[in-house]
Structure 1
Amino acid sequence: MTRPVRRATVFAVLGTLSLAVPLFGPSVGVALAGLVLAGAFVVTDGPLFDVLAYPGDYEDGRLYGLLTFVLAAVALGLVAVASSMSVAIFVGTVFLVAYGNLAEQLVRSRRPDGEVLQATVFTLAAAVAAVAAQSITWWIEGAAIEPMLPSALFLAASGALLAALLRDILLLYDDPIVMLSVGVLLWLLSELEPALGAVEIAVALAVTIALGYVSYALETASIAGMLTGVLLGLVTIVLGGYGWFVVLIAFFAIGGLSTKFRYDRKEELGVAEDNDGARGSGNVLGNAAVALAAVLGYAASSVSLLPAGLEAELFLFAFTGSIATAMSDTLSSEIGSIYDRPRLITTFEPVEPGTDGGITWQGEIAGLLGAAVVAAISLVLFPEVEALGAAIIVVAGFVGMTVDSLLGATLEGSVLGNQGVNFLATLSGAIVCALLVLSFAVLG
């Protein structure tokens, strides 16, 4: 057994102690955490230190990894006790991180170069551990388990995907950050009761994982981009529905393929995406964060502030408007960039290919067609989107694409990065789409 596996095993055992909270109450849980923290300060060398220490702990002779792990668990537990977060979510989060890490370290010891396998095993083990922990907690509390399983499965899968993503982006021993981030996400999602049953959620998870792996295999997404896309897809299906997911996946599929369009020519011009065109997590989130917020808003929407059904409808149009913008901008950039004579959108002066804010008429047409694709899909899938709604989605996509170009010509590089520009552009498309729908509803 390698040292990382031994360390992960001890951390998993310590994570299991979180069950003391539902078994004996918060005071016993805090006392156990205090004992572990005291031990972490006392043990500064020797065999036990070697088992528990991360590489960076040796410099100061202090078990910082253990200390931060326990403190993160204590902080999350205190939040659960003092707020609406359930104890089951707290225990499930600790199990998710601890046992997911153990499973990954076991695979890593045998396949150190199998990054996809490691991420897959972590995600599966973390999800299983989270479901088991939530079920055990409900059993201890005397609650019925079966009615809560769909929610447990959704939360476990979402938390495992987020944890895998963060671990890919951060260092492997940043588990405290992962634990707190996952706990907060699951707390938020737990307030939004999924309408699907356990089987439907399992199917949704299978669909999103399969499509995510295809995107990675086709080299249109990195590992982090794949995990981000799967997480976004799962949340979209469960909280929005399969229609919302089709719109989202259409963007990922068409946008990813457009990145590969005449890639050799883009490399010659110096405008090709890095990493052979594979989209990373930043790119995925920059284009889809507003859409995700719209899905969450839709799930949490109340009809008490606006005419019946209108608030939920506005979130739907905000979603489609943001995706139309992302599609328009991606196609405009990926297709328009292969032409030699772009012009700066603010002055219409000729600029070099790849210049931020540079546009071509071919790119503008491609962008309009991209928005029209999103509008057509929405028209077919959503009864709320009639002919007028489809036209509004196209307009919103074009406006958002134009905002992206304007920001690129004025603020990108000095104030904003590329992902910030993408986020603000999709936000503008979402706002324009929702406001136009609201205006016509009021006038009509």
Structure 2
Amino acid sequence: MFVGVVVIVAYGNLGQRLAYTVRSDEVVATAGFVLVGFVAGVAGQVLGTRIQAAVGEGAAVVDLPLVLFLAASGAFVAALLRSVLFERDDPLVMLTVGLLLWLFFELDPSVTARRVVIALAVTVLLGYLSYALDTASLPGMLTGVLLSFLTIVLGGFGWFAMLITFFGLGGLSTKYRYDEKLDRGIAEENEGARGSGNVLANSIVALFAVVAAAASPSHIAVDPLLFFYAFAGAVAAAMTDTFSSEFGGLYDNPRLITTLRPVEPGTDGGVTWQGVAAGAAGAGIIAGIAALTQDISTVGSGVILLCGLVGMTVDSLLGATVEGSVVGNQGVNMLATLAAALTGAGVVLTAGLL
């Protein structure tokens, strides 16, 4: 693991510099870092395993699917950290990546080489499309790629279908009538391209649910289905919040959710009936995808729909009360998805749906 992390960062830097010589573009340079770092990470882990076996400190068998998974995860995380946090602090990047990969190694997930390769192809393609269409900045694209990759490998394609629907439709809703939103003062910054903070705020709870599902029941004595509902609920909440704000903000006469008094468009905690309807439709889309891709009942789909509505309501309540004074917008988004995830887990536990 140590050798793998060191060579990911070291040779990733080399790949980034070589890419710059070909084309002076940030995306191309990052692609060079990820590609060369991934290949070096695979080679480093295989070589390290062989050396350990040669000196009698380990088995000579190489778990190739796990090696591919760890190398890809490490390359994505290192590229993300360098782009937003520690661009010139490689030791800190190596420490952070090493701890994360250690966690993944200890989880010993049941991964296959085929799923890892498909996950790489799908997420890299979709990540590039999101950047090319200006629905995400480079850090936002890297964050989305990492989350999507982990969701496919650790959760499955059904889980990924919900997540990518949120990323795709959420990004497009941000672009919808963007100039009008700009005039009304409610448009997202950077021409609607969402950054890593925004993507993480809406997805970090879902990511924890994916990792927890991979750790259960071997490391956590809980039915993995519990974490599925937490994941789906968090994604549904993110979708409802995005739809309600992006579509509802285009209409006049919003009312503060706590007092129902009319407020200016864009006021934190202000809601319109059109926004509520759009949010409910977003939650319905996620619930429908869950029903199509997972073996859940109609009641289970209703639970996911409920989670989305709870998340939207909590987001508006926090916006009207503590946003700006206690927490920022991204903190409110995270708390809303957390409330939705807890709602999903709590309902399935009390209703006996496990």
Please report the TM-score for the alignment, with normalisation by the length of structure 2.
Answer: 0.95
Aligned length: 350
Paired AA for residue 252 in structure 1: F
Which residue of 247, 263, 283 maps to 1:351?
A: 263
Q: What's the CA shift string for 1:84-110, capped at 9, x where partnerless?
A: xxxxx1111111111111221233355
Distance in 2 between residues matched to 1:107 and 1:247, nearest whole Å: 34
Structure 1 position 238 matched with structure 2 position 149: no
* 1:45 match: none
Whole-angstrom CA distance in 1 between matches of 2:315 and 2:182? 23
Pick one of 323, 333, 336 that aligns with 1:422: 333
Q: Report the counterpart of residue 95 of structure 2 in structure 1.
A: 180
Equivalent residues of 2:86, 2:92 under 8 A apart: no
Structure 2 partner of 1:56: none
**Are 1:152 and 2:64 an aligned pair?**
no
Structure 2 residue corresponding to 1:434, chosen from 345, 349, 353: 345
Give the conservation status (yes or no) of the 8 Å contact 1:303–1:311.
Answer: no
Which of 203, 209, 230 is the matching residue for 1:288? Answer: 203
Amino acid at match of 2:293: L
Deviation at 1:304, TM superposition (A): 9.4
Higher relative contact order by CA 8 Å / sep ≥ 6: 1 or 2?
2
In 2, distance between residues paired with 1:221 and 1:162?
17
Secondary structure, in 3 states, of the residue corresponding to 2:63? helix
Q: d(CA) in 1 for partners of 2:67 and 2:38?
A: 9
Q: Distance in 2 between matches of 1:140 and 1:303?
A: 30
Contact in 1 for aligned 2:268/2:319 (Cα 8 Å): yes
- For residues 112 and 317 of structure 2, what CA distance do their matches in structure 1 show? 45
Residue 144 of structure 1, CA deviation: 5.8
* Residue matched to 2:187: 272
Matched, 1:169 2:102: no
Could you tell me how far apart the structure 1 residues matched to 2:150 and 2:241 are?
Answer: 24
d(CA) in 2 for partners of 1:179 and 1:361? 49
Q: Quick check: 1:399–1:429 contact (8 Å CA) kept in 2?
A: yes
Deviations 1:212-238 (A, max 9, x none): 111111111111111111100111111
Alignment-derived partner of residue 282 in structure 2: 370
Specify whether residues 171 and 435 from structure 1 end up closer, same or farther in structure 2 by C-alpha distance, changes over 3 A only. Answer: closer
Structural RMSD (CA): 1.7
Q: Deviations over 1:269-291 (max 9, x none)?
A: 01111111011100110000000
Residues 51-200 of structure 1 correspond to what in structure 2 (within 5 A)?
Answer: 89-109=1-21, 111-112=23-24, 114-142=25-53, 147-200=62-115
The residue type equivalent to 2:121 in the other structure is A
| Structure 2: segments with no counterpart, 5+ residues | none
> Structure 1's 353 and 188: CA in aligned 2 closer, same or farther, altered over 3 A?
same
Tell me which of 299, 307, 315 is aligned to 1:404. 315
Shift of 1:173: 1.2
Confirm or deny: 8 A CA contact 1:201 1:238 kept in the other structure: yes
The answer as to 2:305 corresponding to 1:394 is: yes
Larger radius of gyration: 1
Structure 2 residue matching 1:338: 3-state secondary structure: coil
In 1, Cα distance between the equivalents of 2:67 and 2:218? 27
Q: Could you tell me whether the CA contact under 8 Å between 1:326 and 1:426 is conserved in 2?
A: yes
**Alpha carbons of structure 1 residues 345 and 179: separation in structure 2 relative to 1, 3 Å:** same
3-state SS of paired residue (1:191): helix
2:168 to 236, 246, 253: 253
